[in-house]
Chain A
Amino acid sequence: MRSEVPDAPPARRRRLPRGRAWATRLALGLPALGVALGASLLFAPDALANFITPKSGVSENAREIHSLYMVTLYLAAVVFVIVEGALAYSLYRFRAKRNRVAAQIHGNTRLEIGWTLAAALILVVLTVVTFIKLPSIINPPNSDASGLALSASVAQPTPPDGKKLTVCIQARQYIWRYTYGTDCRNDAFNSKLPYSYTMMEVPEHTTVVLSIQSSDVIHSWWVPSLGGKVDAVPGYTTYTWFKALTPGLYHGQCAQLCGTNHAAMIAYVKVVTPEQYQAWLKTQQQAITTASSQVQQLRQILTSEGNLGS
């Protein structure tokens, strides 16, 4: 607690600079914050690569979202600098110490209409940019020539030439199951399609359409490098797509609270060449067939011994 005797001259002389210090610090604090942020961006090491931009670069939808984000970011930066700058300047310039008499202004209709329109204009620009970019985000493109050779199918959504690789995602507490093949949607468990858990393997340069369902609570499919997230809601089928342009292993995670083990519901997408994919698919199919026949045999043995009800 500071001195309780403000009218004593020595105390006042001592306090004046301190008072100024408080005010200046607020006035300087905001620009300093901005400078610090800017500096940390310039000198950001690789570990901090996604400091102010989202992950992207692997699939076109993620790239388009990234570029839409960047447009917004530039506009936002301008607004941020103007607003925070005006705020900091007025605190610095119009403190009672510098400006003893306040101007008694009640308003300025033209100015107010002006900034209302300016704010609206920025939003109109953003709206237009969004709707220009939207088709390339929600509509899948054709696979590249170097991608997997595919046949046409009719399920939604579909690239212009109708050719795509469909992977059905079945979300459940707390694991992702992937079924590979066009017909997976209606009959994921009964058809003899290859499947895998947690790690999805897909060919590069190929348009992969994901058909997403949940068998218990709401989950959300999200691999940041491959585009935005889509909820897996029980009772609904949702779709998204990606077309990975570079091979690699991409990390993703369930984005909607789904229960105790939500944090462990991790997904990986492994992008490989079409040849590797087909080889993997064959191995996977074989492993599944072998495992099922073993289960079949085991079931027969158990049933014949009376250890398993039919």
Chain B
Amino acid sequence: MATITEPAARPVPQITTHEVARPRQTKRWVDWVLTTDHKKIGIMYLVLTFVFFCMGGVEALMMRLQLSVPNNTLVTSEHYNELLTLHGTTMIFLFVVPVWAGFGNYFLPLMIGARDMAFPRLNALSFWLLAFGGIVFYATLFWHPPDAGWWSYPPLSEALYSPQNGQDAWIFLIHITGISSIVGAINFYVTIVNMRAPGMSWNRLPLFIWGMLVYSILLIIALPVVAAAVTMLLTDRHFGTHFFDPTAHGSPVLWQHLFWFFGHPEVYIMILPGFGVISEVIPVFSRKPIFGYKAIAAATAVIAFLATLVWAHHMFASPVPVVVLGFFMLSSFLIGVPTGVKIFNWIATLWRGSIVMTTSLYFAVGFIAIFTIGGITGIFLAIFPVDWQLNDTYFVVAHFHYVLMGGAVFTVFSAIYYWFPKMTGRLLSESVGKLSFWLMFVGFNMTFFVQHALGLSGMPRRIYTYQPGMGWSTYNLISTIGSFILGIGVLVTILNVARSLRVGTIAGPDPWKGNTLEWFTPSPPPVNNFDEIPRVRSVEPMRDIRRQVERETGVTQRTGGSERFARSG
């Protein structure tokens, strides 16, 4: 790819960071277990969540295989219900939410010019709680995994209908990962509020950090509610209470309100840091400032507020008065506006830019293309009479995979290709990355676009098999083939990572001409991140530094060699 092993001119001659190294006294793995360094914890988060991502992916492929043809007997109905519960719970609680904690841990202190998180030990605690929660949950594979779905509606999740202990393991997963996320969220919040570099006022905060800030606030608001709800479910199951038991004047609808009061902010918890990544990646590779910084930051904050007011749009078919349905339709419409504004701003950032087509940008643009579709189908679902037809069908499955798989996961991949050089010092292979992107993009649309049609043809979610002659068979087969293409695409990136770790091109401190302070440090950054923390004068401090160097040296830099991706000269 490039002969440059070290950039011709160091992008920032002022970098004067020294590794503060003590002579090694412990074994290497002990270092990792005992570490409180935000970068090591971040990497552990990323590795662990990717293991869970692969497990959730395998579960999804098993379900797709089962549904590929009518009357299939590959998986029994019991196992299918277990698979859908494991898949949903894993992807949400063990992958998308904590993967942002992983990126946040690694890059949040670097981007705001801090030397570590505010509470390094709490940081380690939150990682190990996540690992513990995942182990508790997956240990059920050896007896009886939960099978009432990731939403676990009572009475089905009550002891009478789900007597197995798998359901209790699910409750403890919510508790343990919930504590992990809350501890992490408080840590992020305190770090952002108190430890920014000199000069980094709120209107100079990188947009990824805005995303992480709102992510933290929403976690702090939403998680206690679900913690209360699952505790009530636990006491219902084992200690004789009747919160959700209709035979004793409890209400199953109460669970739905509590669960979705958490569940909908959770959606934004999963996507807002991704929005932040896109808001970093697109300006860097368009060689343009972000279009409408204030609008994007404001939209993030508005989404945080509205996210707590839309929960009942998950309950349009439940016994809820029509006036309530109307309110939640309007609030769901409202939240579409700031989300739409963000999409417009990203496209406007690309507009008249000088776009460098890197893999990271491919994933970012793929995200916009896919997320737009997910946003549009979201409007269909917000119209409650239309939702009466579409709710609980494959149309909904398609919708939320467009926003979460095509949305969150594509932003995660964009972030991987963008930040891998910073974390490891080596670039990922661009050509392999683009192959991975095309496999994922085509596979994704093949899998999920036809699921809209499935829902419109009347196929409900969560059924383990179906009869031939319903008009569903062709769509299901296409969807299954697509899911395997998608799976191969993910695998290609995993292989790319494994290979590039050893043989990838040396990246140098700033391979992309980044805008934010993480590119001011060597790759990978030393334990203390910065010797000297630069003064921040704009949203793009790294660009200012680069300009200043150019002024002082009189040399226009071929920094880090990112020009090679432009293929222009």
Q: Enumerate chain A interface residues (CB-CB to B < 8 A).
A: 1-7, 15-16, 19-20, 22-23, 25-26, 29-30, 33, 37, 47-55, 62, 64-65, 68-69, 72-73, 76, 79-80, 83-84, 86-87, 90-91, 94-97, 99-108, 111-112, 115-116, 119-120, 123, 126-127, 130-131, 133-134, 137-138, 173, 216-218, 220, 222, 224, 227-231, 233-236, 238, 251-263
Q: Are A5 and B3 interface neighbours, CB within 8 A?
A: yes
| With contact pairs A102-B288, A216-B155, A224-B389 given, residues A51 and B453 touching in the complex (Cβ less than 8 Å) | yes
A40 to B94 CA separation, bound complex (whole angstroms): 38
Closest 6 CB pairs of A and B: A228-B388, A235-B246, A263-B463, A96-B566, A19-B567, A103-B352
Binds A, one of B343-351, B412-420, B517-525: B343-351
Residues of B within 8 A of A126 (CB): 333, 379, 383
In the complex, residue of chain A having the shortest beta-carbon distance to the beta carbon of B391: A229
A229 to B352 CA separation, bound complex (whole angstroms): 48
Residues of B within 8 A of A257 (CB): 81, 84, 148-149, 153, 156, 461-462
Binds A, one of B24-32, B192-200, B322-330: B322-330
In the complex, residue of chain A having the shortest beta-carbon distance to the beta carbon of B338: A116
A117 to B98 CA separation, bound complex (whole angstroms): 35
In the complex, residue of chain A having the shortest beta-carbon distance to the beta carbon of B343: A83
A259 to B154 CA separation, bound complex (whole angstroms): 11
Q: Are A119 and B567 interface neighbours, CB within 8 A?
A: no
Instruction: Determine which of B149, B352, B385, B564 lies in contact with A99 in the assembled complex, contact meaning CB atoms within 8 Å.
Output: B352
Binds A, one of B118-126, B216-224, B289-297: B289-297
Q: Are A112 and B431 interface neighbours, CB within 8 A?
A: no
| With contact pairs A30-B369, A102-B288, A234-B246 given, residues A83 and B457 touching in the complex (Cβ less than 8 Å) | no
Contact with A along B64-87 (1 / 0, CB 8 A): 000000000000011001001000
Contact with A along B347-364 (1 / 0, CB 8 A): 110111111110000100
| With contact pairs A5-B3, A103-B352, A112-B295 given, residues A90 and B347 touching in the complex (Cβ less than 8 Å) | yes
A15 to B322 CA separation, bound complex (whole angstroms): 61
Beyond the given A235-B250, A236-B246, could you list 10 further A-B residue pairs with CB under 8 A, ordered by the A residue number? A84-B369, A90-B355, A97-B567, A106-B292, A134-B385, A228-B387, A231-B317, A235-B246, A256-B392, A257-B84
Q: Are A224 and B355 interface neighbours, CB within 8 A?
A: no
Residues of A within 8 A of B330 (CB): 127
B534 sits at the interface (CB 8 A): no
B390 sits at the interface (CB 8 A): yes
**A285–chain B nearest beta-carbon distance, Å:** 31
Instruction: Determine which of A49, A217, A228 lies in contact with B156 in the assembled complex, contact meaning CB atoms within 8 Å.
Output: A217
Instruction: Determine which of A91, A96, A104, A138 lies in contact with B289 in the assembled complex, contact meaning CB atoms within 8 Å.
Output: A104
| With contact pairs A105-B288, A127-B333 given, residues A119 and B341 touching in the complex (Cβ less than 8 Å) | yes
Residues of A within 8 A of B351 (CB): 86, 90, 94
B424 sits at the interface (CB 8 A): no
A234 to B251 CA separation, bound complex (whole angstroms): 8
Q: Are B341 and A115 interface neighbours, CB within 8 A?
A: yes
Q: In terms of DSSP, what is the predominant structure of the interface of chain B?
A: helix
Residues of A within 8 A of B253 (CB): 233, 236
A275 to B3 CA separation, bound complex (whole angstroms): 87
B373 sits at the interface (CB 8 A): yes
In this complex, how many residues of chain B approach chain A with their Cβ under 8 Å: the count is: 105
A68 to B388 CA separation, bound complex (whole angstroms): 12
| With contact pairs A50-B453, A134-B385, A253-B460 given, residues A260 and B329 touching in the complex (Cβ less than 8 Å) | no
B380 sits at the interface (CB 8 A): yes
| Max chain A Cβ within 10 angstroms of own Cβ: one of B287, B376, B458 | B458
| With contact pairs A1-B432, A37-B449 given, residues A47 and B365 touching in the complex (Cβ less than 8 Å) | no
Residues of A within 8 A of B345 (CB): 112
Q: Are B466 and A263 interface neighbours, CB within 8 A?
A: yes
In the complex, residue of chain A having the shortest beta-carbon distance to the beta carbon of B496: A1
Q: List 12 A-B contacts (CB under 8 A).
A: A47-B474, A83-B343, A90-B355, A96-B354, A123-B337, A217-B156, A222-B460, A257-B84, A259-B81, A261-B77, A262-B81, A263-B77
Q: Are B463 and A262 interface neighbours, CB within 8 A?
A: yes
**B403–chain A nearest beta-carbon distance, Å:** 15
A51 to B567 CA separation, bound complex (whole angstroms): 41
Residues of A within 8 A of B252 (CB): 218, 233-235
Which residues 95-147 of B have a CB within 8 angstroms of A?
Answer: 147
Residues of B within 8 A of A97 (CB): 566-568
Residues of A within 8 A of B148 (CB): 257
Q: Are A47 and B294 interface neighbours, CB within 8 A?
A: no
Residues of A within 8 A of B250 (CB): 235
Q: Are B458 and A260 interface neighbours, CB within 8 A?
A: no
Q: Are A91 and B376 interface neighbours, CB within 8 A?
A: no
| With contact pairs A48-B453, A123-B337 given, residues A234 and B155 touching in the complex (Cβ less than 8 Å) | yes
